[in-house]
Structure 1
């Protein structure tokens, strides 16, 4: 007894098309997740910059560090390993980077 793939996947081009569509969907979701993570970084950094209350600063630093950490992870999942450009672009404060272990 032999096994055959389903008839709609019998041709290699149909199987490739199905996997190509899945790959496209995965890439689109990675890009969308990266955009959401970047938006969160912008929001948390804006709150940190706009707040003058010293009692809230530690909590805002923590939120910003968590958002930046998540953004860096998402970038790496997309194959983007260097973060120097985004650090400059978002103007991420040294106090936030130190919480991530940067020196």
Structure 2
């Protein structure tokens, strides 16, 4: 989890494997994640179905999150009821209230 107001930069020739385990998405972004190079593999843990939507994306970008990709290779996979799903990257937006 990259918390709000936190900035993380990934660069180099290595490989990062991030798996959601019980928490859901492989990478959860609340702050800023910049990927400059390397190989990133992010996968979600198995969804339980129903309202268990937090586990369907390999990369989850929160309301204040920012993902900036300048290079590298990214593989992100989601799951839904144990199947591969089209939801590889998820975005959550906060609804603005009108006054």
TM-score with structure 2 setting the length: 0.29
Structure whose CA Rg is larger = 1
Whose strand proportion is higher, 1 or 2? 2
Whose helix proportion is higher, 1 or 2? 1
